[in-house]
Amino acid sequence: MANDTSADFVVVGSGIIGSLTARKLALAGASVIILEAGPRVTRGELVARFRNSPRRSDWMSPYPPKAWAPHPVYQPADNGYLVQAGPYPYPAEYIRQVGGTTWHWAAHAWRNVPNDFRIHSLYGVGVDWPISYDDLEPYYQEAEEIMGVSGAPDTGSPRNKPFPMEPVAEPWAMRRVRERLAGTFPVVTNTTARNSRGYDGRPACCGNNSCQPICPIDAQYHGGLAADAAEAAGAKLVANANVYKLEHDAAGRVVAALYYDPDKTAHRVTGKTFIVAANGIESPRLLLLSASDKFPHGLANSSDMVGRNLMDHPSTSLTFDADEDLWLGRGPQSPSSINTMRDGAFRAEHAPYRLDFTNISRVDGATRALIADGVYGVELERRLRHSAARELNVKNVLEVLPRPEHRITLSDQKDAMGIPKPEAHYSIDDYTRKGHERSKDDFIRIAALMGGSNLRFSKDGDFANNQHICGTLSMGNDPATSVCDGWGRTHDHENLFLASTGILPTSGTCNSTENGVALALRTVQHMLAEQAGAAKPR
């Protein structure tokens, strides 16, 4: 081994969850090493890459994978990293670089609604969480104060303290949508980690409308900032360190993380406690890769649940032309939504959902569509302006239920480092499809209220993916049906914790990031309390 390092805590993954976990541990005085598979990249580089990209609507184009830390990309061609076993494709996107996938997100930072934690008890579907909304509430608040979250006052998630700032100013287009839908649909400003004022040294939003793939001014929070904060707190971050195996001792305690550097030289890092925070696909992959004679099915996998219950949020959508000029593209990309279908007795029958309005500029998409249609001459510019002004899009964000057959496994194909690739087994079940059918009624009513014409539904049977990977490391009270407990501790290994959206046992209807961050902050609180011999937090 070329290099030996050691720390109290070894965190695998420097994304927003891993980095905020490391930060909180380091602030408490612990020694922490973060191992990140990918490279360091600066915000300035990412902005330049986006502006120079020949695929501006492919938000992964500024984030090309490195050979030593591949991640899936699908344009200009599928790089084949995430092997698709079907029957329905799961083309997940994530980013292996310092700071992880939230370099590129819409900064939605929703809490669950309380009933999301009890859907089995209340509606007879899915599973209950091992913790309640009230258990998580203080950690939601902690996450929101770190990230600088704001939102509408009442979206079904009770709060004990106010948001740290006012909601972000509403774009004109969203105001018109809100006004014209009033009385039928309440349209509210989204809960986002986006500054409505200077906060924590970062400026207020100035409407660059490139939240995805990169906010050029850090007005929205992201994992790169979290990684910076972890390092500032004293954590040691090793980039380009692709962890391929966790080693354990005879008692089943994890003792070391083995990683390859870009030259495929192996390194060994030892620690007292290990936290896998490498997202909902790479985390189960690492546990499965760590199989040994003692644990032939991988670490934390005596239940055979590692990688199972893969969930996300599929979306279908409607695009139409409103009867007034709205000009999407002014202000942040994803400002407003309808939240009335997140919970209700109907959850016994079909998926709940949020309805999201995009404010992403229509200019590039309309241009491509017009050129594809062979529209040239003065009509090209005239129609381009018409579409850019009038086009509106609403999509659903549908819950997916946990199903063991939906899973991440190890492929028999290997990546450039000789490590088995992840393989996705996925489908869209009737519960989710029925939610989609129900939401089409809403789409049509929304279009009618906006004077919509030229209605274009997303292709029947096609569900877009939202990259909210969860479920693959599910937490639960029963070691036979879950991977970790409500604190994120694996049932099988006393000093191995999981901090990831993968531990969410159900997907709910909101983006998984804030749930993942809040759970991780709660996990850290537990670890610190345990170390101090103090009473455990709720």
Partner 1 sequence: MSAHDVNALHSVLQSDGDPDPTRRRLLAGLVTAYTASLIPWALAQPAPDARRGAFAAVSAILAGRQSLDTVQATRLYDALVADDPGFADAVVSLLALINEQHIDPLQLQKTLDDAHSPLTALPRTIATAWYLGIVGSGARARCLAFESALNAVAVADVLKPPTYAYGVYGSWSTKPA
Stretch that binds partner 1, among 96-104, 364-372, 400-408, 502-510 (CB under 8 A): 364-372
Out of 28, 125, 152, 169, the residue judged to bind partner 1 by CB under 8 A: 169
Is 451 a residue that touches partner 1 (CB under 8 A)?
A: no
Q: Is the peptide bond before 54 cis (omega within 30 degrees of 0)?
A: no
Is 377 a residue that touches partner 1 (CB under 8 A)?
A: yes
- Catalogue the E-assigned strands of 190-342: 236-238, 242-248, 254-260, 266-276, 317-321, 336-338
Is 210 a residue that touches partner 1 (CB under 8 A)?
A: yes
Stretch that binds partner 1, among 94-102, 120-128, 283-291, 325-333 (CB under 8 A): 325-333
Cα–Cα dist 535/349, whole Å:
41
Out of 120, 159, 385, 434, the residue judged to bind partner 1 by CB under 8 A: 385
Query: Which residues lie closer than 8 Å to 201 by C-beta, 6 or more apart?
Result: none
Instruction: Using the structure block, give the residue that is written with the tokens 């400003």.
Output: 189
Is 388 a residue that touches partner 1 (CB under 8 A)?
A: yes
Nearest CA to 490 out of 346, 268, 287 is that of: 287
Q: Bridge-partner residues for 10, per DSSP?
A: 33, 274
Token pair for 267: 């390194």
Out of 331, 422, 435, 486, the residue judged to bind partner 1 by CB under 8 A: 331
Question: Integer distance in angstroms from the first to the last C-alpha of the chain?
Answer: 42
The nearest distance, CB 167 to partner 1, in angstroms, is 11
Number of helices (H) and strands (E), helices first, in the chain? 11, 16
Q: Is 313 a catalytic residue?
A: no
DSSP 436-494: HHHHHHHHHHHHHHTT-EEEEEPPTT--B-----BSTT-B-S-TTT-SB-TTSBBSS-T
Cα–Cα dist 377/382, whole Å:
9
Cα–Cα dist 82/46, whole Å:
23
Query: Which residues lie closer than 8 Å to 385 by C-beta, 6 or more apart?
Result: none
Around 245, how many Cα atoms within 13 Å sit in the side-chain half-sphere? Answer: 14
Out of 250, 378, 534, 535, the residue judged to bind partner 1 by CB under 8 A: 378
Out of 40, 66, 159, 330, the residue judged to bind partner 1 by CB under 8 A: 330
The nearest distance, CB 178 to partner 1, in angstroms, is 12
Residues 177-206 that bind partner 1 (CB under 8 A): 196-197, 204-206
* 260 three-state secondary structure: strand
Out of 15, 171, 284, 505, the residue judged to bind partner 1 by CB under 8 A: 171
x-marked contacts with partner 1 along 72-111 as a string, rule CB under 8 A: ----xx----------------------------------
Token pair for 240: 């380009």
Out of 116, 142, 170, 442, the residue judged to bind partner 1 by CB under 8 A: 170
Stated as kind and residue range, the H or E segment containing 391 is: strand 391-398
Out of 40, 120, 175, 253, the residue judged to bind partner 1 by CB under 8 A: 175
The nearest distance, CB 311 to partner 1, in angstroms, is 30
Out of 17, 22, 37, 47, the residue judged to bind partner 1 by CB under 8 A: 47
Q: Catalytic: which of 71, 267, 468, 491?
A: 468
Is 166 a residue that touches partner 1 (CB under 8 A)?
A: no
Is 217 a residue that touches partner 1 (CB under 8 A)?
A: yes
x-marked contacts with partner 1 along 277-316 as a string, rule CB under 8 A: ----------------------------------------
Are 256 and 211 within 8 A, CB to CB?
no
Closer residue to partner 1 (CB): 194 or 493: 194
The nearest distance, CB 58 to partner 1, in angstroms, is 10
Out of 1, 182, 251, 371, the residue judged to bind partner 1 by CB under 8 A: 371
In the complex, the residues that contact partner 1 under the rule CB under 8 A are: 47, 50-56, 76-77, 169-172, 175, 196-197, 204-210, 214, 216-217, 325, 327, 329-331, 361, 363-364, 366-368, 371-381, 384-385, 388-389
- Residues that are catalytic: 468
